């Protein structure tokens, strides 16, 4: 797998294994990613020379968009790491998430998030947390998509926490590798997707909205979102993960008619491939592709599962 992906956090539902296939359908010079998420598709599009215009309402995704997709040449330094250790009176994690079981390094994390002034530093800390808790499983809430996995493998990786400087320097190099100038002025926007669509212009648009009936990202990442904002964030599920999801999918297509090519990713228990194809075909001709792939939440081959990703691509 491309080394550049190591710059990104391993958000649940990421498209690292599928990004090349997705981009094989892209046309033109300007690639629009309306739901950035963890940034896999946008980063590969950037590497392929597209001008990338991406969007996501979530703060965790904004950090990726600003630190990696928009960023041309600013990289992390050792000073960015050492400055995180300055003593502060911040106790947000300790006071609000006492059951998080971050062991002795909770004080470091409270200091670090208080001291993090740049999006690159915040991305560094997100990835540091993910070393400790893969997929940001900071709570006991197990996503439906992982319900068949042996979750005994998901446990605190304390070896990373006890030597934070060494781990942070390793992560710094991973992030810096993914920062490059592709000759384009790439853009990130943090807007409601329909507001974003009103003014965006480009050749290909990629939609990867939350999947109806699947695990809510707002629930799963609530602790991470709260830590990033340094305040408790109420859970407000996406409109695309509601009973009215189909209505909002139609609206996405209505408001993107000015863009020549649409690539739609979807999955989940509520809307299957044929249903999504029918939805898209009410707006423009399209074809359905069902891609089977292996994925795992660990490096263990025994934990790998077969999944099917739905792609609908307009003609």
Class of residue 147 by CB neighbours under 10 A (exposed 0-12, middle 13-18, buried 19+): exposed
Q: Average pLDDT in the 268-294 region?
A: 91
Confidence of residue 153 (pLDDT cuts 50, 70, 90): very low
Can you name the residues that pair with 294 across neighbouring β-strands?
306
DSSP secondary structure letters along 123-183: HHHHHHHHHHSGGG--SSPPPGGGTTS-GGG----HHHHSSHHHHHHHHHHHHHHT----S
Question: Higher-confidence residue: 288 or 299?
Answer: 288
- Average pLDDT, whole number, for the chain? 88
pLDDT at 104: 60
Q: Which domain holds residue 96?
A: 3-314
Mean pLDDT to the nearest integer, 127-136? 75
The answer to whether the beta carbons of residues 102 and 128 sit under 8 Å apart is no
Spell out the alpha helix ranges (H) of 185-272: 193-199, 217-220, 222-229, 245-254
pLDDT at res. 151: 39
88-126 pLDDT, tens digit each: 999 999 999 877 756 567 888 999 999 999 999 999 999
Q: How many domains does the chain have?
A: 1
- At residue 250, the pLDDT reads 97
Strands (DSSP E) along the chain, which ranges?
30-33, 51-55, 187-189, 204-207, 261-266, 286-295, 305-314
Torsion of CA 70, 71, 72, 74, to 10 degrees: 170
pLDDT of residue 137: 62
| pLDDT confidence band for 146 (50 / 70 / 90) | very low
Q: pLDDT band at 136, cuts 50/70/90?
A: low
Helix (H, G, I), strand (E, B) or coil at 310: strand
Residues 6+ apart with CB under 8 A from 104: 161, 162
Mean pLDDT of 269-278: 92
pLDDT tens-place string over residues 159-199: 444 478 999 999 999 999 999 999 999 999 999 999 999 99
pLDDT over 70, % of the chain: 84
Q: How confident is the model at residue 154 (pLDDT cuts 50, 70, 90)?
A: very low
pLDDT in the model for residue 131: 81
Own/partner long-range contacts of 159-163 (Cβ < 8 Å, ≥24 apart): 160/128, 160/131, 160/132, 161/102, 161/103, 161/104, 161/105, 161/132, 162/104, 162/105
Asked if the model's pLDDT at residue 155 lies above 80, the reply is no
Residue that is written with structure tokens 């909770």 in the block: 106
pLDDT for the residue numbered 129? 87
Q: What is the pLDDT of residues 30-83, one digit of tens each?
A: 999 999 999 999 999 999 999 999 999 999 999 999 999 999 999 999 999 999
CA dist 197 and 256 (Å) reads: 6
Q: What's the mean pLDDT in 283-307? A: 70
Which residue did the predictor score with more confidence, 203 or 11?
203
Distance CA 135, CA 223 (A): 12
Q: What is the pLDDT of residues 215-228, one digit of tens each?
A: 889 998 999 999 99
Task: Look at residue 298 in the predicted model and tell me its pLDDT.
Answer: 44
pLDDT at residue 152, as a whole number? 43
pLDDT score of 227: 95
What pLDDT sits at residue 149?
A: 44
Q: What CATH number is given to the structural domain containing 60?
A: 3.40.50.150
pLDDT of residue 259: 98
- SS3 category, 198: helix
DSSP reduced 3-state for 33? strand
Residues near 39 by beta carbon (within 8 Å), at least 6 away in sequence:
8, 54, 61, 64, 65, 68, 69
């Amino acid at each position: 797998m491309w080394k550049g992906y190591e710059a990104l956090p391993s958000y649940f539902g990421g498209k690292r294994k599928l990004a090349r296939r997705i981009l094989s359908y892209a046309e033109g010079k300007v690639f629009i990613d309306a739901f950035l998420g963890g940034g896999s598709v946008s980063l590969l599009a950037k590497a392929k020379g597209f001008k990338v215009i991406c969007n996501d309402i979530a703060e965790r995704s904004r950090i990726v968009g600003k630190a990696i997709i928009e960023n041309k040449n600013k990289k992390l330094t050792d000073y960015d790491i050492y400055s995180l250790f300055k003593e502060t009176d911040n106790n947000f994690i300790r006071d609000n998430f006492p059951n998080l079981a971050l062991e002795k390094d909770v004080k470091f994390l409270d200091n670090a998030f208080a001291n993090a002034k740049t999006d690159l530093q915040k991305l560094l800390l997100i990835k540091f947390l993910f070393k400790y808790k893969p997929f940001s499983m900071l709570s006991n809430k197990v996503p439906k998509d992982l319900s068949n996995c042996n979750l005994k493998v998901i446990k605190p990786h304390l070896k990373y926490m006890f030597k934070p400087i060494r781990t942070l320097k390793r992560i710094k190099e991973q992030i810096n590798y993914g920062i490059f100038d592709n000759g384009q002025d790439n853009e990130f926007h943090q807007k409601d997707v329909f507001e974003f669509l009103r003014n965006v212009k480009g050749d290909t648009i990629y939609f990867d909205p939350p999947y109806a009936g699947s695990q809510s990202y707002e629930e799963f990442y609530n602790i991470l979102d709260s830590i990033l904002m340094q305040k408790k964030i109420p859970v407000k599920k996406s409109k695309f993960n509601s009973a009215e999801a189909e209505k909002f999918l139609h609206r996405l297509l209505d408001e993107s008619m000015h863009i020549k090519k649409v690539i739609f990713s979807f999955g989940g228990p509520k809307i299957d491939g044929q249903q999504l194809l029918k939805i898209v075909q009410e707006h423009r001709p399209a074809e359905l592709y069902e891609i089977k792939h292996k994925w795992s939440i660990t490096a263990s081959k025994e934990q790998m599962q077969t999944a099917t990703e739905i792609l609908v691509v307009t003609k």
